Amino acid sequence: MYMNKIPVGILGASGMVGQMYVSLLADHPWFELRYVAASPRSAGKKYAQAVADRWHIDHELSKKEWDCGIGGLIVQDANDVSKAVIAHKAGCCDFVFSALEMDKTEITKLEEAYAEAGLPVISNASAHRMTTDVPMMIAEVNHHHTDLIPIQKKNRNWDRGFITVKPNCSIQSYITPLWALMQKGYEIKRLVVSTMQAVSGAGYPGVPSLDIIDNIVPYIGGEEEKTELEPLKIFGTINTDGRLVHASEPKISAHCNRVPVSDGHTACISLEFGTKKPSIEEVKKIWTDFTSLPQEEQFPTAPERPIIVREELNRPQPRKDKNAGKAMAVSVGRIRPCQIFDLRFVGFSHNTVRGAAGGGLLSAELLKHKGYL
């Protein structure tokens, strides 16, 4: 069953993002889930028992996967790195996806402990996003930031282990479209973004029902700061001395709101170009034609079309567009002139797939392609 597949593990496997990883890995052609770890209260249980009353994915695993494979894995204590090391030596865990949900300082130390022990860590947590030598990647945008990995390993005297992270889930609903324009020579000077973010982005149990039903909450702790800073690292360049220099533009002003939607983050964008300004039709063509390394190399999780342009006046919508391109595509619509800046549009992506587990899985495929896994 495991022939020619890389054995992988999940830290935080019982949480919402961890469960999404389990679902996406169930029939992955390159990776095989062999190791799961979570909090001490889940440790020692079969995975199926640990999530029996808290399975949040909207589709079930097959009976075979549940009873004979994934469901039968014994959950380990994620705080005990030695268990993963033993699994690695036994050929059951070559690297881990981190979907940990704990204090940021604790996550920082724990992910570093796994990497120091020789296990690469592909993280969904925010703990290392702004760490200078840790690449924060959207595979279609800054896949070249994998060049930071040898530098990171040298800086920390790590042999096989390293850490990569994915960015905040909400910015992925528009960063790829911005990058596609920048790749065609259009400088983006400033943008204003207002996000409408699904409740699943808060994890489980997440936002209390009495706070979100029939309501909008115009505050998500730390979200606006992440929205304004993380793109500058993603758009940054690696100097000849191996140092990542953040981009100075675009300047970003963000408003982040929690809305009563199950899955899918929506962003309303107004942006200002530099001297060179594309027409609306050119923008649509750039987005429709855009592909990058994951598409060119046909990575299993990559959408065939990373940006889908919707011409309908009322799209994209979470209910209708969240599963576009295997739930990995960015849908854009309402592309029109801006009365204050130059261009405005609506971007949308699935926050727990593209913005979380699917984005991490695509990063792993990128890392395998480049020989790091």
Higher pLDDT, 240 or 77: 77
Element (H, E) at 193: strand 188-197
Active site residue 169: yes
Burial of 368 from C-beta contacts in 10 A (0-12 / 13-18 / 19+): middle
pLDDT digit string, tens, across residues 250-276? 999 999 999 999 999 999 999 999 999
pTM: 0.96
Q: How far is CA 176 from the centre of its chain?
A: 13
Core vs surface per residue 155-192: b (16+ CB within 10 A) or e: eeebeebbbbbbbbbbbbbbbbbbbbbbeeebebeebb
pLDDT digit string, tens, across residues 101-147? 989 999 999 999 999 999 999 999 999 999 999 999 999 999 999 99
d(CA 217, CA 259): 7
3-state secondary structure of 46: strand
Q: How far is CA 294 from the centre of its chain?
A: 15
| Residue of 128, 169, 256, 350 marked active site | 169
Contact between 217 and 256 under an 8 Å Cβ cutoff? The reply is no
Look at residues 82, 95, 125, 111 and name the one whose alpha carbon lies nearest to residue 34.
95
Q: Is the dihedral of CA 117, 123, 125, 126 positive or negative?
A: positive
Task: Assign domain 6-168+356-369 to its CATH architecture.
Answer: 3-Layer(aba) Sandwich (3.40)
Predicted pLDDT of residue 65: 67
pLDDT at 208 over 80: yes
Name the residue with tokens 């929506």. 266
CATH (residue range 170-349): 3.30.360.10
- Other residues' Cβ atoms within 10 Å of the Cβ of residue 277: 13
Spatial CB neighbours of 210, under 8 Å, sequence gap ≥ 6 = none
Predicted pLDDT of residue 67: 66
Active site residue 338: no
Among 1-10, 210-219, 359-368, name the one with the lowest average pLDDT.
1-10
pLDDT digit string, tens, across residues 159-206? 999 999 999 999 999 999 999 999 999 999 999 999 999 999 998 888
Q: H/E/C letters for each residue in 311-352?
A: CCCCCCCHHHHCCHHHHCCEEEEEEEECCCCCEEEEEEECCC
Look at residues 23, 5, 29 and name the one whose alpha carbon lies nearest to residue 298.
29
Look at residues 45, 46, 109 and name the one whose alpha carbon lies nearest to residue 81.
109
Q: Is the dihedral of CA 302, 303, 305, 309 positive or negative?
A: negative
Predicted pLDDT of residue 2: 46
| Residue of 88, 128, 265, 350 marked active site | 265
d(CA 254, CA 219): 11
d(CA 89, CA 86): 5
d(CA 36, CA 75): 5
1 confidence band (pLDDT: 50, 70, 90): very low
Q: Helix H segments across the chain? A: 16-25, 47-50, 63-64, 81-89, 104-116, 148-156, 175-183, 209-212, 223-234, 280-289, 293-296, 318-321, 324-327, 358-369
Domain map (residue ranges) of the chain: 6-168+356-369, 170-349
